[in-house]
Amino acid sequence: MPAPARPAEDRLAGYEPVIGLEVHAQLLTRTKLFCACANRFGAAPNTLVCPVCLGLPGALPVLNRQAVMLALRAALATGCTVHQTSVFERKNYFYPDLPKGYQISQYERPLATGGLVTIAGTGGGERRVRLARIHMEEDAGKLLHEGFPWSGEKSGVDLNRAGVPLIEIVTEPDLRSPEEAHAYLVALRAVLLYAEVSDGNMEEGSLRCDANVSVRRRGTPALGTRTEIKNLNSFRNVARALDHEIARQVAVVEAGGEVLQETLLWNPDRGETVSMRSKEEAHDYRYFPEPDLPPLAVVAEWIEEARRSLPELPEERRRRLASEYSLPDYDASVLTQERSVADYFEAAARASGNPKASSNWVMTEVLRKLKEDGRGIASSPVSPAALAGLVRLIDASTISGKIAKDVFERMWATGEEAPAIVEREGLLQLSDDSALAAIVADVVARSPEQAASYRGGKAAALGWFVGQVMRQTGGRANPHRVNALLRRALGEAKAPAGR
Ligand SMILES: [Zn+2]
């Protein structure tokens, strides 16, 4: 059935989307949730398996304490209430990547409920997204549809992922736009990374997202029928899929139809959702308490231990950077999206004594080069101390800001420190008036027309002269001195009024 055309923007604006997200995060444990197999991505298929995670008869699960600790950290970092007793249950369904025929999860009594994640709202200000729950469960295996000589005729199954520990983090339906959903994911990922709960790597599947979405006419309190979108494997796809699905639902409602409750698959190549199955209800899974595991009793000391092990979290750090270093909120939020970036900035800011300049360099040049190279800040060829050295050279007027950009490129390519490059390449800023005055005089003498125009009151002509002097000096001239000398040479007395 072809989808109805996307409604016009003013029609869309008459509807309010209501979005809830379910995020699955793999925990950074050494071993799986209920057995001693390694929890590691990228091994040869079916090499990290044992009778427990293969679901062989008679094998019994044993809960991984480290997984519980990491789940507790996630719960505390998002302000959830941890429940003293939670219960593992069997979620029964058949799929080829699930050898046991059920997944061990938590249902009626989850580990934690009722947290909060703060995001920047679409209309400005902060929005608090309520978390319904965080529960623990095991991952399933993975079907392999491509990359083998027999692909195309049949699919393979890799059970290395079967039994890998997950937490599922479920929001209340508090999000009101694809942008807010995106902001929530960015904020949640930052919390999980700071707390060292998950590596947050979406390409490797350690963070996965499903979205529930419905629309209602603005001003109506009743919720519309929702659909669930699966297979959202990047933040960008979450926003794209939601945008598409919201428009589809509005089109259905506008045409007098009814949105069906169903599960949809997002196809990123075609940019559309396709129906996967009518929505299953909880009772379809025949949940019942896992008979091979006792209820999970979390003792107070574990919660204390988890709380003590939490570092400063992104929101706290954002507020601290803004106040301690007098940074704009924008800078503070960019710099704190990753803990390692915030660490890098703070080291550079302290060493340079100029936080705002350090922030500018990190946000623009450093992050840009890291993205180009596809590497993390931990392997940056320019250390925080080296960046601070560059900032100090600019602040001392030893080099111009323009030259500094070139010096930075060379530092990145060679790993050398700024002073060594500046000295060897002769890039010292020309601040000496006697040397600059000769160049200024020469430029003025050769451009009588522009000089007359400046003297005639066209202030912008000064910029043209500055450009000429910069060109003559290969960008090394100190712009403040050049401005002063040009004004003098062009006749300060005859400069435009108001200077
Ligand atoms: Zn195993």
Stretch 92-101: mean pLDDT, rounded? Answer: 94
Stretch 446-459: mean pLDDT, rounded? Answer: 87
168 Cα: distance to centroid of ligand 1 (angstroms): 21
Collapsing DSSP states into helix, strand and coil, what is residue 401? Answer: helix
285 Cα: distance to centroid of ligand 1 (angstroms): 24
Collapsing DSSP states into helix, strand and coil, what is residue 402? Answer: helix
53 Cα: distance to centroid of ligand 1 (angstroms): 4
Under the banding of pLDDT at 50, 70 and 90, the label for residue 101 is very high
Q: Tell me, what's the pLDDT at 277?
A: 73
198 Cα: distance to centroid of ligand 1 (angstroms): 20
Contact status, residue 20 vs residue 175, Cβ threshold 8 Å: yes
Stretch 230-258: mean pLDDT, rounded? Answer: 92
475 Cα: distance to centroid of ligand 1 (angstroms): 63
164 Cα: distance to centroid of ligand 1 (angstroms): 9
Q: Tell me, what's the pLDDT at 210?
A: 95
Of the candidates 143, 138, 145, 166, the residue with the CA atom closest to the CA atom of residue 53: 138
35 Cα: distance to centroid of ligand 1 (angstroms): 5
Q: Tell me, what's the pLDDT at 430?
A: 76
Does pLDDT of 493 surpass 60? no
290 Cα: distance to centroid of ligand 1 (angstroms): 18
CA dist 168 → 22, 171, 289 (Å): 7, 10, 18
Q: Tell me, what's the pLDDT at 10?
A: 87
142 Cα: distance to centroid of ligand 1 (angstroms): 15
307 Cα: distance to centroid of ligand 1 (angstroms): 30
Collapsing DSSP states into helix, strand and coil, what is residue 248? Answer: helix
294 Cα: distance to centroid of ligand 1 (angstroms): 20
Residue 277 backbone dihedrals phi, psi, to 5 degrees: -170, 160
Using DSSP bridges, classify how beta strands 207-217 and 15-26 pair: parallel, antiparallel or unpaired.
antiparallel
38 Cα: distance to centroid of ligand 1 (angstroms): 8
Q: How far apart are CA 436 and CA 237, in angstroms?
A: 55
Across 22-36, 280-294, 374-388, least confident range: 280-294
Does pLDDT of 411 surpass 50? yes
- Structure token digits, residue 351: 């060493």
Q: Percentage of the chain surpassing pLDDT 90? A: 68
Question: Which pTM was predicted?
Answer: 0.81
CA dist 170 → 33, 56, 80, 100, 298 (Å): 20, 31, 12, 25, 21
Question: E strands, 155-271, where?
Answer: 156-158, 165-171, 207-217, 227-232, 262-267
- Kindly report, residue by residue over 224-240, the tens digit of the pLDDT: 999 999 878 888 899 99
- Kindly report, residue by residue over 263-310, the tens digit of the pLDDT: 999 988 888 888 887 766 767 899 999 999 999 999 999 999 999 999
Give the mean pLDDT of the chain. 91
